[in-house]
Structure 1
Amino acid sequence: MKSGEGNNVKLKWFLTIIVTTVGVYLSFRFILPLILPFLVAYFLAWIIRPLTEFLYRRLKLPRVVGGTFSLLVLVGLVGTGCYYLCNALIKQAITLVKNIPVYFGILAGKLDYLCKGCDELFGLAKGTIRSMVDDNMSSMLNHMKTSIMPDITQQTITVAVGLVSAVGIILIILIATVLIVKDLPDFHKRYESNALYKDVHAITSKLSEAGIAWLRTQAIIMSIVAVICVLGLTLLKNEYALLLGIGIAFMDALPILGSGIVFIPWIIIMLISGNIYAAAILATIYLIAQIVREVLEPKLIGNRIGVKPLFTLIAMYIGLNLFSIAGFILGPVGLIMIITIVKVVNDRTNQNSCKQEMPL
């Protein structure tokens, strides 16, 4: 290959990345909010399709009836599980809020002890460090009153309004799910007969394989880590075991940092306090959670994504800045989409180039 042709290939590759990145961003920003309910409906239709088709073949039930029954079964099972889970979480959250003054009292006692030790260590006048801490805490509380609390109040109103509109969106999703299940076979036939089927299918199949593999892997690992954390914290007789276990499982999904953000400081505090038993249990939970992720993640994902943890962390950070909390998922998914689309386009370009260079 000549140097000019090599430069053209690099330029095309660079332009493909730029165009794909811009396209993914614009799709997430403007198109995704419009089609998200129908994507959720398609996902639900994919879940209930086996039962719907079974009822259609064996009992000759119309797909609308079978799909409605299957959807009701799914909603009933998931709803029951969510009810009991949310009920337990809310109770633990309320208990935590009620006990906050007690914990602040304990923290103040520990803080007093540490401040006295620092004064003695650095040869400062008694109460110097504590005075500095109190001044900083006062500034922080004033900032919360003037800036953070009004924002929280505004967000509460926004959430309340959003809950009302969410009911309508849920109804749209449920109706769309039944309609998609009913017409899914016809959709597939029309889709496969389309002239663009091969090109679109090459990209969507790769995206589906990589994206679903990543989401499924994270869901499985987070669920296992949550169970491990809840059981371990229950062993410690922690009254917030469920709340903390699920929260730590979400933190564990962060690349590189993971659940160590919570466990490592907690273990150090327990060691300083002289609670060796609690420190040993926490260290064991943390170690098991790390082993689970290190063992399961490569096996479940394999080589289908090929995204380094550092790049995943960068994608999460960019996603959080661009799309708020939703960016925690949209960032890595967007990165997978960009990598997959660029790879498919480059492979297709290389195949076309080879065909053109073949002698007649």
Structure 2
Amino acid sequence: MKVKGTNSFNMRAILLLIGITVGVYLGFKYLLPLILPFVFAYFLAWIVRPVTESLYNKFKIPRIIGGSASLLLLIAVFGTCICLLINVLIKQAILFIRNMPIYLDLLAGKLDKICSHCDKMFGLDGGTMRSTMDENLLQTVNRVKTQVIPELTQHSISITIQMVAIVGIMLIILVAAILIVKDLPDYRKKLENNSLYQDIHKVTEKLSEAGTAYLRSQLIIMVTIAGICILGLSLIKNEYAALAGIGIALMDALPVLGSGLILVPWAIIMLITGRIYSAAILITTFLACQIVREVLEPKLIGNRIGIKPLFTLIAMYVGLKLFGVVGFILGPVGLIIIQTVYQAILEREERVAVKDEVHLNE
């Protein structure tokens, strides 16, 4: 009888997990696109809530005024930082474009040498590999002219409409955040005694804790790695140290890819061309990035997420297959939701079982 009960429990647990998983998938697929602006609005309201409550309690400033001022200040500070960063990146991009002819000449010379070596290696006539490469390059350029550029031109109106829609959505998020800040205490008072709200709150609290820990850790790691890359590239006197350093840091944040996708081939090229010092700096920069990630990530995240790295990687892959690029984020988030909801349901059933047992004993 014990074995039968255990088997029944296991089957019920499996069915429960399947049901939760299907519910999360359907929620992400159909519900999330509808409520996403208000999720962002709640996130903004959550950020400025401590300041808003402090202004209300100390100076009796209405929440709608304090929340509006806090949100506008947050947007202004964030926008200023983004503008300064974009300004630096644009300057370096313009410098790169100006120097493009020089780099193309250098690349052409390197390609001539590489193609000549390939011709000798494979026993081909001189210039065969280069002519093949030129033909492929010409086909690519023609394809861009005949397909990509006309396609972009045809969709220019729809892109403009989408940009206007994005601005409208941003305004909705801002207004919703202000209203949430204003009414959040009232919402909590009305819902805090509701048992369903308590269970949902546990799930959102766990998700918020895991999400905050993950995002904060990734931001700190990205900033640190960007600083290391900018320093390393500055040591080899690279003119685009800031642009390349930030790009490498963003690449490092993506799963599987990492900073080695850029730094290692770059170091190999430097080594082949005889620039030993530059190659050594790039390899050192790569190793420093790896050490920083391996050391900081466990300390910053710790056990807050409660999911093994292998399961996180599987969740990212499944999310990528189901939802595209955003699945890299939705996959782990969905896994956290499934795990938290499952544990919350089991804990609730245990509480109910204990209450029933107490009533029976009485």
TM-score, normalised via structure 2 length = 0.88
Cα 1:9/1:48, change in 2 over 3 Å: same
For 1:126, the aligned partner's letter is: G
For 1:236, the aligned partner's letter is: I
Q: Distance in 2 between matches of 1:338 and 1:148?
A: 42
Give the superposition deviation at 1:279.
Answer: 1.3
Query: Which residue matches 1:82?
Result: 82
Contact 1:255/1:310 (CA < 8 Å) preserved in 2? no
Query: Which residue matches 1:37?
Result: 37
Q: Distance in 2 between matches of 1:41 and 1:132?
A: 54
Query: Which residue matches 1:300?
Result: 300
Contact 1:256/1:310 (CA < 8 Å) preserved in 2? no
5 Å-filtered alignment, 1:158-177, equals: 158-177=158-177
Contact 2:270/2:278 (CA < 8 Å) preserved in 1? yes
For 2:203, the aligned partner's letter is: I
Query: Which residue matches 1:183?
Result: 183
Give the superposition deviation at 1:113.
Answer: 0.6
Deviations 1:44-64 (A, max 9, x none): 111112221222122221111
Q: Distance in 1 between matches of 2:316 and 2:97?
A: 30
Query: Which residue matches 1:241?
Result: 241
Structure 2 residues without counterparts, runs of 5 or longer? none
Contact 2:207/2:333 (CA < 8 Å) preserved in 1? no
Query: Which residue matches 1:221?
Result: 221
Q: Distance in 1 between matches of 2:86 and 2:143?
A: 32
Mapped pair 1:288 → 2:288: yes
Q: Distance in 2 between matches of 1:345 and 1:282?
A: 51
5 Å-filtered alignment, 1:253-264, equals: 253-264=253-264
5 Å-filtered alignment, 1:1-360, equals: 2-145=2-145, 147-153=147-153, 157-349=157-349, 360=361
Give the superposition deviation at 1:225.
Answer: 1.4
Structure 1 residues without counterparts, runs of 5 or longer? none
For 1:258, the aligned partner's letter is: G
Cα 1:167/1:245, change in 2 over 3 Å: same
RMSD: 2.7
Deviations 1:297-318 (A, max 9, x none): 1111112224343443343344
Cα 1:198/1:238, change in 2 over 3 Å: same
- Quick check: 162-171 or 144-153, which moved more? 144-153
Give the superposition deviation at 1:96.
Answer: 3.2
Q: Distance in 1 between matches of 2:162 and 2:97?
A: 25
For 1:70, the aligned partner's letter is: S
Q: Distance in 2 between matches of 1:297 and 1:69?
A: 35
Contact 1:251/1:258 (CA < 8 Å) preserved in 2? yes
- Quick check: 156-165 or 203-212, which moved more? 156-165
Cα 1:309/1:50, change in 2 over 3 Å: same
Cα 1:16/1:246, change in 2 over 3 Å: farther
Cα 1:189/1:288, change in 2 over 3 Å: same
For 1:115, the aligned partner's letter is: C
* Count of residue correspondences: 360
Deviations 1:269-323 (A, max 9, x none): 1111111121122112211211111111111111222434344334334434443
Deviations 1:102-136 (A, max 9, x none): 43332222121112112222333222333343344
Q: Tell me, what secondary structure is at the counterpart of 1:196? A: helix
Deviations 1:232-257 (A, max 9, x none): 22333322222222221121123344
Q: Distance in 1 between matches of 2:285 and 2:129?
A: 35
Q: Distance in 2 between matches of 1:271 and 1:296?
A: 30
